[in-house]
Amino acid sequence: MKINKKTLDNGLRLVHHQDGSTQMVALNIVYDVGARDEHPDHTGFAHLFEHLMFGGSVNVPDYDAPLQLAGGENNAWTNNDITNYYLTVPKPNVETGFWLESDRMLELAFDEQSLEVQRGVVMEEFKQRCLNQPYGDVGHLLRPLAYKVHPYRWPTIGKELSHIANATLDEVKSFFYRFYAPNNAVLAVTGDISWEETVRLTEKWFAPVPRRNVPLRQLPCEPIQTEEYRLVAERNVPLDALFMAYHMCSRENPDYYAFDILSDILSNGRSSRLNRRLVQELNIFSSLDAYISGTRDAGLLHISGKPAAGVSLEQAEAAVRNELDRLKNSLVEPQELEKVKNKFESTQIFGNINYLNVATNLAWYELTGQAEDIDREVDNYRSVTAEQLHTVAQQTFREENSAVLYYKKQN
């Protein structure tokens, strides 16, 4: 992939890839701030800010209106590590995108009314997703069970509703000026736009945005777990559910790719181990899934499922541990490993056909390393061996490295 890069004097990193197969242009801005950067008594701010960024900037009272007039679309998302904003716009109107994104990076139109509106939206989202939905509070139970000191111990949406309800305008302003800065962001531009035009528009609109004093991140390191963590919760839900989490490495660790492959071997498609054995053949689970958190700091490998009728949570957990023991006791067969690698490669190739996906991925890779890593991902997965999977499984799938949540239906 032909990638162009430039860093502006104010610290903004620009990444570009031209795609002549479309008449659209995508702008993706990723800010290096997520829920892990919040204070334990003031959580949910990164997610609140995702909403505030659409409430009007210092010179543009309505973000959506001019973009819609230009034929554009936009959205955003937040997780524990980053906050990501993107838009797409037809090539002739691309400057509208640069104007809008640069202005809200410069300064938001901070006022009590905007805060109240977005606070209400976020609080309603919290209620719908976490309080009024079956199994909605799993993250609020499992995260603090697995993490004791690292800020991954609370979900992106926040630890509790009161943190958002009590957020003040001064706290919101402080959060913005600490993290929303050109020197804390990556702008990726893809689609039907030349490198020269991209540089011209970026310098015109983003260069005037001042560099800010972004605090040095100093997060507490999660200590090595030495005993199994367990919790039983009873809720008004239709079925019992099992949630298990094992500590794994950070995204920068070479073993990260082994963990991702292990989760796919366990649960990616109907022929995966957990689905084939425990859902289809033995009928122990009605549904079962395994996945990794994909976080930048040391994360979790999750296994979750709902036992079939008549199967206890104890029986279900024992069945899962038996499957994990198979990974610990014997090497994965070459054919099974190759199938998982092939599936990842095809997903990667097809995903990077879309110009917007490329913009999002380039911004992420540049933030966490360098944009060129996008072309190395397949090789990173291809290099994982059965012996490496075996070692990682033995180190990981131990009771004293696990957090187990029994989520029971109330009698």
* For the chain, domain boundaries: 4-207, 229-409
The reply to whether 229-409 shares the fold of 4-207 is yes
Query: Where is 69: in which H helix or E strand?
Result: helix 64-69
Q: How many other CB atoms are found less than 10 A from the CB of residue 7?
A: 12
CATH of domain 4-207: 3.30.830.10
pLDDT 10s digits, 241-297 = 999 999 999 999 999 999 999 999 999 988 999 999 999 999 999 999 999 999 999
The sign of the torsion formed by the CA atoms of 98, 100, 103, 108 equals negative
What is 100-153 written as a DSSP string?
Answer: HHHHHHH-B---HHHHHHHHHHHHHHHIIIIISSTTTTHHHHHHHHH-SSSGGG
Q: What does DSSP say about strands 229-235 and 300-307: parallel, antiparallel, or unpaired?
A: unpaired
Q: Which residues contact 318 (CB under 8 A, 6 or more apart)?
A: none
How many CA atoms lie less than 13 Å away from 316 in the CB half-sphere?
29
The confidence band for 49, taking pLDDT boundaries of 50, 70 and 90, is confident
What percentage of the chain exceeds 90 in pLDDT? 91
How many CA atoms lie less than 13 Å away from 290 in the CB half-sphere?
23
CA-based max dimension of the chain:
66
Cα distance between residue 302 and residue 402, in whole Å: 10
The confidence band for 411, taking pLDDT boundaries of 50, 70 and 90, is confident
For residue 396, pLDDT over 90 is answered with yes
Cβ atoms of 12 and 367 closer than 8 Å: no
Stretch 6-19: mean pLDDT: 98
User: What pTM was estimated for this model as a whole?
Assistant: 0.94
pLDDT 10s digits, 133-154 = 999 999 999 999 999 999 999 9
Kindly indicate whether the domain formed by 229-409 is annotated with CATH number 3.40.50.1820.
Answer: no
The strand pairing partners of 75, in sequence order, are 86
* Model pLDDT, residue 246: 98
Cα distance between residue 173 and residue 180, in whole Å: 10
Instruction: Give the closest residue to 40 by CA, choosing from 148, 170, 117, 132.
Output: 148
* Model pLDDT, residue 306: 97
